[in-house]
Amino acid sequence: MNALIEQAITGADKTFFQMRSDIVEGEIEAGSKLSETELSTKYGVSRAVVREAINRLESCHLVERKPNIGARVVALTPEGLIQLYQARESLEGMAARLAAKNMTDEEIEQLNELLNTHFQEVKGGETYYQEAGDVDFHYRIILGSKNKHLISLLVNGLYHLIRMYRVQLGMAGPRVSTAFDEHKNIVKAIRNRDEELAEMLMRRHILYSQQNIEARLQ
């Protein structure tokens, strides 16, 4: 179902995935300090692999490192969330534009099918899959852009941070039907190969989402 199958080759991979998950899920709490020795005993590996994992987490913008001092998990702030959505808006907007240009007819058809199954689930009240479905939708468009920089920046970079905000500030649930309509219109634009419209609709979709979240934080 999900086109993203990250598999761990080395031990550092495994530790990185584990730590990333723990941070996103809040098991390692936001803003906390990451002690290398402590983590090495916790995950049962040497400090070297913990250090490599931390370096990669820094690339994801999930932790911040200061020389000779150490690494901390990022703090979740309203400003940070807004800035994150601004970056996301620009990148995913361009991704939608390029998807309208570069996705094959077959890929677009599969995207449409995803939307249909998603619709059935929403109608059935399965709000659990709503989150996963939304993520999957956005992933496909990002991959559909076929631009490796956009893919890397979003999938390996910002998306886990977005998920961290979602999980820890607990914002999934509402906005289901309207978001679904927005998805539908985006696919329609992509199907019509209307790059301009696809980008505009994606940007508005993300902007609405941002505003919805902002409203709920207050």
Footprint of a copy of itself on this chain (CB under 8 A)? 9-10, 13, 48, 51-52, 55-56, 58-59, 61, 67-68, 80, 83-84, 86-87, 89-91, 93-94, 98, 147-150, 152-153, 157-158
Quote the least distance from Cβ 70 to DNA, whole Å. Answer: 3
Chain center to CA of 154:
7
Binding mask 41-60 for DNA (x = CB under 7 A): ----xxxxx-xx--------
**What are 63's strand-pairing partners?**
73
Long-range contacts from 189-194, C-beta under 8 angstroms, 24+ separation: 189/96, 189/100, 190/96, 190/99, 190/100, 190/103, 190/108, 190/111, 190/141, 190/144, 191/108, 191/112, 192/100, 193/100, 193/101, 194/100
Cα–Cα distance for residue pair 45/63, rounded to 1 Å: 20
Size of the site for DNA (CB under 7 A): 21
- Say whether residue 33 binds DNA (CB under 7 A): yes
Smallest distance, DNA to C-beta of residue 57, A? 13
Question: Applying CB under 7 A, which of residues 21, 32, 35, 120 lies at the interface with DNA?
Answer: 35
Q: What is the chain's length?
A: 218
Verify binding: residue 36, DNA, rule CB under 7 A: yes
One-letter amino acid of 15? T
Which member of 70, 107, 176, 207 binds DNA (CB under 7 A)? 70
Tokens coding 156: 């390996």
67 touches DNA (CB under 7 A): yes
Query: Using an 8 Å Cβ cutoff, are 89 and 203 in contact?
Result: yes
- Within 10 A of 66 (CB to CB), how many other CB atoms are there? 8
Q: Is 4 in the site for DNA (CB under 7 A)?
A: no
Residue (75 or 217) nearer to DNA, CB: 75
The binder of 71, among a copy of itself, DNA, none, by C-beta within 5 to 8 A per type, is: DNA
Residues that bind DNA (CB under 7 A): 10-12, 33-37, 45-49, 51-52, 65, 67-71
